[in-house]
Structure 1
Amino acid sequence: MRYNYKYAMPVDRKVLEYDFESDDSVDDIPEFLKLMRSVDEHTFYKIADEVNSFVGGLWNNIDSQFGINLRDREKLLPIFQEYHRISESFSYIPAEIYRGVYLPSVYGNILEETFGDMIGTVNLKKHKKIGKIFEGLAYGLRSWSNDQNIARGFASYGRGERIMFVLMPQEGDVVLDGNALIELTKSIEDRNEDIPFPVDEDEYIVYLKNPKIVHAYKQQDYDRSYWVVIVEEG
């Protein structure tokens, strides 16, 4: 049987050229989705270990180039939506959340070549190519945090320029509050010990279908600089 998935705007082909291959277990997503739809908050304990292990295997290993790749990422959207339904009574969405990334090597030094060593606000209307790059890095099903330090840490992993996105989420932007799922999972550990968490503490799964850049500026952070990019759903 073929399953239909909803996709956001296309990923930049330059980025996809360096993407890894998804694990074969991605094909099992529809079966796990069916399983999740059969439970609620009070019966989740029956499937928590099995489902959390499966989703964590795909989602938590992305930085190690294993699990689910960028091309397939949105196949997990209905899974996270079901997690939200099941854990909604524990959920709280903060006023601001953050996502830290570094500029992928496929873009070279385009930010430095365009803006040099300048610090401060940039006019992206005059630099539409840069705006499109920022939008591409923000779009889709992504991991965000309510902790700026966590976001800045992720932005420091690579060699490219550091970028921290800031989102003031509107209704529907946040697909899953990771803390809510963790709290629910902990509440049932008396029944099933050592149930894994498929997400991290302070992690928020966000789905932006049409991100638009509101504001962008570069600021100094001790001996290094980083970009702060305010984004919203278009």
Structure 2
Amino acid sequence: MSSAPARSPVSEVSDYIRGWAKSLVDAGLVSAPGKQWEVLAEAPAAAPSPAPDDFWVSASLSGGLNGEIAFRMSRADARRIAGEKEENGHPLTPENQSRVLDIFRNAAGVMSRQRQGADIQLQIEVAATPAWPVAARYWLRVAPPSTLLMEISTNEMLVAGLQTISVADVSARDASPEKLGMLMDVELVVTMRFGGRRMLLKDILDLCTGSVVELDQQVQAPVDLLLDGKVIARGEVVVVDGNYGLRVTDLLADH
């Protein structure tokens, strides 16, 4: 039986962008029945040039996948997404910015769970024109009656991470038992994560001996075991011969 054709690194990137597009449309980016949409690898003829009043949303990825992705839309499209009926020439109000961000955050929640075993965090915020060089650019086009055109750009770090995942998947499928046997004595570093939190720069600079940093995880909550930034298991903290240890209670299926 022939195996399925290997996915190319380029298709991994384009599929990731399509995942974002579908998640955004499903989250309410447009309200038209049917929601006909497509992702284009080249700018359509109707694509507007960047303008000073464009509305930008950025997504910063960390954890199992790192990088930046930016979404550019016209102010008029951003207003329609927020539910405004008319263009009044003024910037979006904070309330309407929040409505747009809610859609992106809902989509980000879906995308953060897209890869089992990869603990991906996504930070969504209103942004300015990205300062980083664009490594890949796509366009999301929504068909009438709710016409919308959105530019989606990624940086090199995200593209490289997606391509690495693609190559690793192909290597895993092609690996024979003999080849895997050659790797069984390779040592890998695993880490235990008790929790985390976001801190303001001024709070970090104020740290001193005796400072207490509260994490976002309860004492009784399971602890994550990570390999190369990906969660492979969870369990309970134990002490073994004076050292911390982990009693595994949950192995992730795709570890």
Over alpha carbons, which structure has the higher Rg? 2
Q: Which structure carries more strand by proportion?
A: 2
TM norm structure 1:
0.28
Q: Which structure carries more helix by proportion?
A: 1
TM norm structure 2:
0.26
| Greater relative contact order (Cα < 8 A, sep 6+) | 1
